[in-house]
Amino acid sequence: MAANSVTDSNAATTQGHNFPPVRACIFDMDGLLIDSEDAYTKVTNIILNENGRPDLPWSIKAQLQGRPGPSAGKIFRAWAQLPITEEAFLERQRELQRDMFKHCKPLPGVVDMLNSLAAAHTDADRKKIRLALATSSHGRNYDIKTAHMKEMFTVFPEKQKIVGDDERIPKGRGKPLPDIYLLALQTINEQIRSEGASERDILPGECLVFEDSVPGAESGRRAGMRVVWVPHPGLLDVYKDRVEEVLAGRTGEHDENDSTHHGSEPLPGSPGKVGELNDGWGERLNSLEDFDYRKYGIVVRAGETSGRSGQDSKPDQGGHEDNLTPVPVFEKPPASKLS
């Protein structure tokens, strides 16, 4: 059955469209869960200034966000025209990142949201919401950024933590191609089957991708998934007149003639297709604090959320306990550990 043909009597309504309830939430990391995008900007600007170049403008940074290192590096070098070798730039970059990444911290709403989703279930059949991480950040940088936030990332099962240099991603097929999100869904369905439950496989149209970057939003749409776009204010300023194009994945981030992804076997479903303008498959939020669980057919336990989204939650109906695997609720990391 095609992803966009899934129907359910408990379909969630979004922007006048009916969709199946969300059964899986897949998250990007940099700039979405943690403030590492600001760290990337600071590191880049230090190197630029050391070499007599101006700060990185958002018009260029917007093209780098969410992309794998080689693709982003190609775009950056063409703009920066640094008077040093690529090797010298990368060495200085690694040196600065090793220190700056240690101070990354969760963005607003993230801790509450992950806590809520870890204990949430679908409105339709009371199955737990499946979670996965899909980041272009390589494993080494992922470890540095998250070392002091490990507990926060325990909501993602190890096999559902997909990093940019994961060998399961076909070479050169990072975002905006959909392979990383297709792989994340594949690992979720493998987990469902391994549990031997009666739960059927999750379809792409039952997945919700959370992204902050433009290439990442296209990646999610090409995977046949719904997308929540939470851009940095600087990025939104660049795309303020093209929001619907971003939500549809129609900003032209994927270049079929780009040789970096040629010669590798794509995952089934790649390169996928972009959406249509105003098709209801995407939503922009200013912050994850504004996420409306009910809109997506997700039920969270009473008291698990705060703010507007918490007002949409409701306690279990029917006088029986949730049949969910208990998940420890973690606390927000103390500020002293993040500075």
Do β-strands 161-162 and 130-134 pair in parallel, antiparallel, or remain unpaired? parallel
Average pLDDT over residues 220-232: 98
Other CB atoms within 10 A of residue 14 CB: 17
pTM of the model: 0.84
Model pLDDT, residue 14? 55
Instruction: Identify the pLDDT of residue 305.
Output: 53
- Whole-angstrom Cα distance, residue 152 to residue 169? 24
Q: What is the pLDDT of residue 301?
A: 81
Between 62-71, 138-147, 202-211, the lowest mean confidence (pLDDT) is in: 62-71
Q: What are phi and psi of 18, to 5 degrees?
A: -100, 130
pLDDT, greater one: 256 or 54? 54
With cut-offs at 50, 70 and 90, classify the pLDDT of residue 304: low
Residue 329 or residue 263, greater confidence: 263
Q: Over the stretch 77-120, which tens digit does the pLDDT of each residue have?
A: 999 999 999 999 999 999 999 999 999 999 999 999 999 999 99
Lowest mean pLDDT among 2-11, 31-40, 152-161, 301-310: 2-11
Both structure tokens of 106: 């969760």
Q: Of the candidates 66, 12, 76, 71, which has an alpha carbon nearest to the alpha carbon of residue 221?
A: 66
Residue pair 27/134 in contact by the 8 Å Cβ criterion: yes
Tens digits of per-residue pLDDT, 121-167? 999 889 999 999 999 999 999 999 999 999 999 999 999 999 999 99
Of 221, 128, 135, 142, residue with least CA distance to 180: 135
The pLDDT assigned to 254 comes to 85
